[in-house]
Structure 1
Amino acid sequence: MYIYINGNFVRQEEARISPLDHGFLYGLGVFETFRVYNRHPFLLDDHLERLNGSLKALNIHAAFSREDIVKILEGLFEKNGFRHAYIRLNVSAGNGGVGLQTEPYSEPNLIVFSKPLPAAAGMTEKEAVILNLQRNTPEGTERLKSHHYMNNVFAKRELGGRMDAEGVFLTKEGFLSEGIVSNLFWYKEGVLFTPAVGTGILNGVTRRFIMSLAEKNGVEMREGFYKLEDVEAAEEIFFTNSIQEIIPVTIFNGTDFPGKAGRFVGNMHGFYQVHRESLWSRNDINGGVARE
């Protein structure tokens, strides 16, 4: 398997970075994961918008355009022979001395990983399990998709090896926040709800896409601070992330829900299918169909 690292395509077992990389020493790095459908990187512009904003917040002097990343992806597709793929685009601060640095980082390490995925199929249902571990607070003003992933690792260990479930974090105040690797939504009486960014969640790219889809299709959207009882009265519940897309919930904290049989989640998945081989940004949605 080939990966891209700093201008070169190399076999992944041959890739090297310095132990002085501050992404390794201090967690100063960010990443994006997204799917490629038939060689189209879905919502790439939105992923790069978040990535470039995060790099600025970390004082890493780099920014990447659609053209930059598409060229890299085309090289990976040719090397690895993929049409449908999982992509992880990783940028770490680059080398520094041992010790905290306040100066900007001007030579970051860019690594792009890929692995094959099957062509997209139907939705996969999961049970939502409330975690005992609380969601930690962001290191800065808003959570970045950064190398600081220990809270998620501990949560995954608490959930265990279950593939049919997703863990749900609560904040220390008892508010719902997000899944271990997903954002949370629920639908009730014509309104779509999701926890606010102020609960410490990652503002997911797929989260924002679903919110845009809902609003473009006349669905009222509410973000806020919610407790367990707010969700238990819902009609439908689902998770979102960029790899698993929309994940309908069949059981939430012991209560049954319709899963993929839900009408709303079915409609959202239908819109997702329409867009995933062509859309570059949520800003290009025009109702159920993307603008040309």
Structure 2
Amino acid sequence: MLIYLNGQFISKEDARISPFDHGFLYGIGLFETFRVYEGHPFLLDDHLERLNHGLDELYIKHHFTRDEVNKILQELLEVNQLTNAYIRLNVSAGMGEVGLQVEPYLEPNLIMFPKPLPPPGELNEKKAVLLKVKRNSPEGQERLKSHHFLNNVLAKREIGDEPDVEGIFLNEQGYLAEGIVSNLFWIKGNVLYTPAIQTGILNGITRQFAILLGRKNNLQVQEGFYSIEQALEADEMFVTNSIQEIVPISHFEGQHLPGNKGQWVQQLLKDYRHYSTSLWSRHSIGRE
């Protein structure tokens, strides 16, 4: 498998960055993960919008465009003979002296990692379990998709490697937050509930798209501060991320849920996949 590193396609064994990269020394870096469907990078514009905003926050002076990233991506898919893939786009601050830097970073490192994925298949259910580890507060005003991942690692160690289980964080105030690698949703009646950004969660790209799809299906969307007891009243529950899409929950805190038989989960995933091979940004929906 070849990866892209600063203008070159090289084997992962040959990849090198300097130990003076402040992404390594101080965690000054961001990443995006997204899925390619039949050669199309789904919601790439949305991922780049979030990435560019984060780069501004970290004083990394580069702005990525669709044309720039998609050109690299299509070459990367070609050299690896992939049409359906997981992609991680990683931007680290670049080299600096040992010590905290206040000046902007002008030469970031860009790495793009691919992994093959099969075409999307049937819905895979998961069980949701509450974590003892609490969701840490964001490092700044909002949570960035940054290199600071110890909180997630500790949570993953807590639940282990079971592929059909997702751990759910409570924040430090005891409100429902998000999954280890996902955002949390549930439906009661005709209302779609999800924790608010102010709980300290990452504003996931798939989270934003699921909210849009819910509204298109005439669900009322409520973002807020919710207790465990409120979620236990759910008719359906699911989690989202850009690789796993919309994942139905079959059990939560002893409660049995419809899982992949849920009417709303099936509808939302059907709509999601309708757009997956063509949509660049959720903002385009409504202009169709």
TM-score band, normalised by shorter chain: over 0.9
Paired residue secondary structure (1:81)? coil
Q: CA RMSD in A?
A: 0.8
Q: Are 1:245 and 2:245 an aligned pair?
A: yes
- Partner in structure 2 of residue 161 of structure 1: 161
Answer whether contact 1:213 1:285 (CA < 8 A) is retained.
no
1:64-143 superposed matches below 5 A: 64-143=64-143
Paired residue secondary structure (1:240)? strand
1:1-292 superposed matches below 5 A: 1-286=1-286, 291=288
Q: 1:216: how far off?
A: 2.4
The AA in structure 2 aligned to 1:114 is P
In 1, Cα distance between the equivalents of 2:250 and 2:218? 26
TM-score, normalised via structure 2 length: 0.99
Ranges of 4+ aligned residues in structure 1 off by more than 6 Å: none
Answer whether contact 1:27 1:146 (CA < 8 A) is retained.
yes
The number of residues matched between the two structures is 288
The AA in structure 1 aligned to 2:167 is G
Q: 1:78: how far off?
A: 1.3
Provide structure 2 residue ranges, at least 5 long, that are not aligned to the other structure: none
Percent identity between the two aligned chains: 58
Deviations 1:193-244 (A, max 9, x none): 0000011100000000011111123211000000000100010000000000
Paired residue secondary structure (1:129)? strand
In 1, Cα distance between the equivalents of 2:6 and 2:67? 16
Paired residue secondary structure (1:136)? coil
In 1, Cα distance between the equivalents of 2:111 and 2:196? 31
Answer whether contact 1:216 1:285 (CA < 8 A) is retained.
no
In 2, Cα distance between the equivalents of 1:146 and 1:118? 27
TM-score, normalised via structure 1 length: 0.98
Deviations 1:151-206 (A, max 9, x none): 00000000011111000000121100000000000001100000000111000000
In 1, Cα distance between the equivalents of 2:244 and 2:271? 15
